[in-house]
A = this chain, B = another copy of it.
Amino acid sequence: MEIKEYIEEKKKSIDSALENLLFPLKEYSALYPALSYSLLSGGKRIRPVIALATYEANKEDSRPIIPFACAIEIVHTYSLIHDDLPIMDDSNMRRGRPTLHRVYGSDMALLAGDALLSLAFEIVSSTSHEKVFTAEKLLAVVREFGKATGIRGLVGGQVMDMVTMNEENVEESMVIYIDSRKTGELMKLAIRTGAILGDAENSELVALSEFAENFGISYQIVDDILDEVATVEVTGKDTGKDRKNRKATFIALYGVDRAREIAKDFVNKSKDYLKPFGEKYKVLMDIAELSLQRMK
């Protein structure tokens, strides 16, 4: 199967699983429309696809891992909602539609984000997985979610993203720090969740984590390039914001052309980590390669 078809197929199963996961919450809260607006809005679902692909390289049937893949997309959506708030990046558009706070207000957007983070942990720790995975494995995955989303992960990246805004002379190592946490951590969470639940060898877990971190950095650079050169019609979100907010990016450091090269370098570096395993993780390598086409 071609990689684009593979992604499309997995994306569909994630979209439908997300809808099913969300539906039972309808009766519980006035927040449901807001949750549904942000979660069922046609994202690229790259993180859950990566989790599925990693699991499938180790096990035949990927159905048991779908809720976990959804939980990763849920965490990603939470981070976008909070990041878009006026007190953060103040974004107007996301996935081709007005951002959540513009439709439901900043209070509901804040609470929707909060609810989604808790929901991810509820899903991962649900009793429904106990027939397939041991409690030890499930607890290890909870630990991954905690670390990846916390101060040493996602939030740590967001903090430095805000702190370095408007700063002169931000160093390249800081940009890598920000990108690897803001974006690399959830890619790593996706890969590690797939690998841990799929019983991958420890040596593979290390290589997969390296792949994910480098691919994540590349993915963020491509996003930043699109912010600089593309229009809202292409990206579905506000563009030109990094320049306006004077964000610390590779583009601010070296310009767009050099940033394109660096994005390619990170993808090549990421793929190198998976080459020792031959064809086993080819889907992941193809996903990384394909992601570069976004900047064309």
Contacts and interface: CB of A to CB of B under 8 A. Distances in A.
Interface stretch (A4-12, A113-121, A258-266, A284-292): A113-121
B135 A139 contact: yes
A64 interface: no
Contacts of A143: 122, 125-127
B146 A107 contact: no
A220 interface: no
B156 A31 contact: yes
A122 B139 contact: no
B122 A31 contact: no
Given A31-B151, A122-B146, A87 B110 contact: yes
B82 A119 contact: no
A267 B143 CA distance: 37
A86 B105 CA distance: 12
**Number of contact residues on A: which range applies?**
35 or more
Contact of A107 (B113, B114, B115, B162): B162
A82 B108 contact: no
A155 B115 contact: yes
Interface stretch (A22-30, A52-60, A249-257): A22-30
**Residue among A105, A147, A150 having the largest count of chain B Cβ atoms under 10 Å:** A150
Contact of A151 (B25, B124, B136, B160): B25
Interface in A53-110: 82, 85-88, 105-108, 110
Given A82-B114, A88-B107, 5 more contacts: A86-B87, A108-B159, A108-B162, A118-B149, A124-B142
8 contacts: A29-B159, A30-B160, A31-B159, A108-B162, A118-B155, A122-B147, A125-B146, A139-B142
Interface of A: 25, 28-31, 35, 82, 85-88, 105-108, 110-111, 113-115, 117-119, 121-122, 124-127, 134-136, 138-139, 142-143, 145-147, 149-153, 155-156, 158-160, 162-163
